[in-house]
A and B are shown apart, each in its own frame.
Chain A
Amino acid sequence: MSLLRPLLRPLLCPRVVFLAAFLVALSLVAAKAALATFVSANCNYNAPTPSPNMYRDGSVTVALVARYEGYHWGGGCWNDNDVDEGPNEPLQTSSTGGEGGDCSGLTFKVWRESLNTGDGGHYQWGRLRNVHGPYAAADFKAGVGVPNATYPKADAIVMDAFASSTHIGMVYQRATSGADQIVEAKCEACGTNIFTRTYRSDSAYGGVRRMGWTG
């Protein structure tokens, strides 16, 4: 043992300890890279671009970019390749960092809302900007936030929404059958798409309008 002591002494000097700590940190970084999620690998937190105008047709285009890009509970980041790059995530788990928005995150982004609930202006969020916004479906249903207001369902038109306490979807097209084509982020298995729904006649749903459209 006494022979080993002189050999071990250099290992305890500060430089070696620092190097060891540095290597540990590097291995942690490498492990994190190996476990990268869609959000950590692709998304950003850039500031939105204020825009003076907002047209319903333009918001339809924003919504259609999210189509086929998947669903992520609490999510708000997607690309535009029509592939869900975070499929089969655990249900209602926000921490997995998958691709897509959830119902309220999609609505927030398509309606170009501000994080400031008192601001009714229009803000263009990049599709890779990871933002959900402060509202859940129940908040939209109640018309919470300056840009949002409850609205008669019978008068709802394209890019108005129907919201319940647990879900929200936006009108894509009014169908002749009395149902509507709704663009919505529905669930992990069904993703974000256009679905035929009868929310207009469902008593659990109320009408919601984003105020301040230019046209």
Chain B
Amino acid sequence: MDGLTALRASTVAAAGVLLVAGCRDHAQPPRRVFVGHVRVGGVGHVRAPRLRACLRRFGEVHVTGRTRLVEREERLGASLTISDPGLPYLYGCDFPPSSSSLCGAAVGEWRDRRLNDPRLDILCTDREGRALGAAWFVPLPRARSIAVRERRFTEVYPPAGGLPVRIWTREGVRYERSSAVFDVTQRGPDGRPLAHERLRAAVAG
């Protein structure tokens, strides 16, 4: 048993005792909610500098009339997801908020609405230099919003274009282990939660 496991065991035991003792619930500060912007469509619908930067990174991508583009602007970062129905790949480019300088990128295998892996990227940083994690999340068909919870705020992503949603986390990044955990809740048309999960992703491939 390593130290971490022993610590976990002690924590479980202590939590049980505290539960029985009935510890008071501390008041939580209100969590702010940010709803991201999304643009869906062809070449004319997304910011040209971002598309150019992304196509420079992925020379094999040729944008045609069939290419689907989803551009997202969120609090932690922006992204461009590119899918050509004729190709089994999904291409993603990550940017700092309101910027067109590419800070990360990802390629995933995308077949029959299945993605091989969330394709985590941890190369982007915030203004303070802290690592950010970006990964794709495949929403349920009925989902109308994807909420990713951070400690102080929740970021809401509207699904769009029938493509996986590029989501972000700062607190979930475990940079030393090249991995990240995203606290994700999907909500349906009536606003009720459809599913909640902790998406675990690692840099791979």
The interface size bin for chain A is: 35 or more
Instruction: Check B105–A138 contact: CB distance below 8 A.
Output: yes
Instruction: Check A131–B178 contact: CB distance below 8 A.
Output: yes
**Interface size (B, Cβ < 8 Å)?**
39
Partner pick for A165 among B12, B107, B117, B122, CB 8 A cutoff: B107
Instruction: Check A25–B178 contact: CB distance below 8 A.
Output: no
Find the A residue at minimum CB distance from B18: A21
Instruction: Check A165–B89 contact: CB distance below 8 A.
Output: yes
Partner pick for A25 among B9, B89, B106, B200, CB 8 A cutoff: B9
Contact with B along A141-180 (1 / 0, CB 8 A): 0101000000000000000000001110000000000000
Is B1 located at the chain interface by the 8 A CB criterion?
A: yes
Instruction: Check A136–B106 contact: CB distance below 8 A.
Output: yes
For A26, the chain B residues whose CB sits under 8 A away are 9
Find the A residue at minimum CB distance from B125: A117
Q: Give complex CA distance A76, B134 in Å.
A: 21
Which B residues between 161 and 186 are near A, CB-CB below 8 angstroms? 175-179
Contact status of A135 and B203, CB under 8 A, knowing A115-B175, A165-B107: yes
Instruction: Check A45–B5 contact: CB distance below 8 A.
Output: no
Minimum CB–CB distance from B61 to chain A (whole Å) comes to 9
Contact with B along A96-128 (1 / 0, CB 8 A): 000000111100000000010100000000000
For B177, the chain A residues whose CB sits under 8 A away are 45, 130
For A55, the chain B residues whose CB sits under 8 A away are none
Q: Give complex CA distance A17, B21 in Å.
A: 10
Minimum CB–CB distance from B53 to chain A (whole Å) comes to 11
Partner pick for B16 among A17, A103, A167, A204, CB 8 A cutoff: A17
Partner pick for A74 among B109, B122, B178, CB 8 A cutoff: B178
Is A198 located at the chain interface by the 8 A CB criterion?
A: no
Minimum CB–CB distance from B11 to chain A (whole Å) comes to 8
Find the A residue at minimum CB distance from B121: A136
Is A88 located at the chain interface by the 8 A CB criterion?
A: no
Instruction: Check B107–A132 contact: CB distance below 8 A.
Output: no
Is A53 located at the chain interface by the 8 A CB criterion?
A: no
Q: Give complex CA distance A95, B181 in Å.
A: 12
Q: Give complex CA distance A144, B56 in Å.
A: 13
Contact status of A25 and B117, CB under 8 A, knowing A132-B203, A138-B106: no
Is A133 located at the chain interface by the 8 A CB criterion?
A: yes
Is A137 located at the chain interface by the 8 A CB criterion?
A: yes
Contact with A along B120-157 (1 / 0, CB 8 A): 01110000000000000000000000000000000000
Instruction: Check A165–B176 contact: CB distance below 8 A.
Output: no
Instruction: Check A25–B12 contact: CB distance below 8 A.
Output: yes
Is A213 located at the chain interface by the 8 A CB criterion?
A: no
Instruction: Check B16–A133 contact: CB distance below 8 A.
Output: no
Is A73 located at the chain interface by the 8 A CB criterion?
A: yes
For A134, the chain B residues whose CB sits under 8 A away are 122-123, 175, 178, 203
Is B60 located at the chain interface by the 8 A CB criterion?
A: yes
Is A24 located at the chain interface by the 8 A CB criterion?
A: yes
7 extra interchain contacts, Cβ-Cβ under 8 A, other than A21-B20, A138-B107, A165-B60?
A25-B9, A25-B13, A45-B176, A74-B203, A94-B202, A134-B122, A165-B89
Give the interface of A toward B (CB within 8 A).
14, 17-18, 20-22, 24-26, 28-29, 32-33, 45, 73-74, 91-92, 94-95, 102-105, 115, 117, 130-139, 142, 144, 165-167, 204
A to B CB contacts below 8 Å, 11 in the list: A24-B13, A24-B16, A94-B204, A95-B202, A102-B205, A104-B205, A105-B204, A132-B202, A136-B203, A142-B57, A165-B107
